[in-house]
Amino acid sequence: GEDVEQSLFLSVREGDSSVINCTYTDSSSTYLYWYKQEPGAGLQLLTYIFSNMDMKQDQRLTVLLNKKDKHLSLRIADTQTGDSAIYFCAVTGGGVSGGYNKLIFGAGTRLAVHP
């Protein structure tokens, strides 16, 4: 079935850029999402990209999509301590009856920002 992989940890210095990577297997994924989870909380959507785009920028966030390599990345510019959280990549896949697409989540990358 569909698989989504992420590295588990990333540590960066405050003010540097963070790059979180994700690879997936289902080339038919139409939407790809990045979610953020703070400790003990639910997930909140950070940004998403449609599969016919290569790049999307939203303030400090830049999403890059390489469809050929099935690789998605999230770049956070000027990383702050408030960015410390777990970041999940999710892709549409494993379509269900009626056409509604499930989301397949990666294991999450824990980002630690230090002074």
Partner 1 sequence: DGGITQSPKYLFRKEGQNVTLSCEQNLNHDAMYWYRQDPGQGLRLIYYSQIVNDFQKGDIAEGYSVSREKKESFPLTVTSAQKNPTAFYLCASSMGRPNGYNEQFFGPGTRLTVL
Q: How far from the centroid of its chain's Cα atoms is residue 70's Cα?
A: 13
Rounded distance between C-alpha atoms, residue 76 and residue 85, angstroms:
12
43 lies in the binding site for partner 1 (CB under 8 A) = yes
27 lies in the binding site for partner 1 (CB under 8 A) = no
* Contact with partner 1 (CB under 8 A) among 19, 41, 55, 77: 41
Would you say 30 or 57 has its CB closer to partner 1? 30
Binding segment (CB under 8 A) for partner 1, from list 13-21, 33-41, 52-60, 72-80 = 33-41
* Least gap, CB of 44 to partner 1 (angstroms): 7
For CA atoms 11, 15, 17, 19, the dihedral sign is positive
Would you say 41 or 77 has its CB closer to partner 1? 41
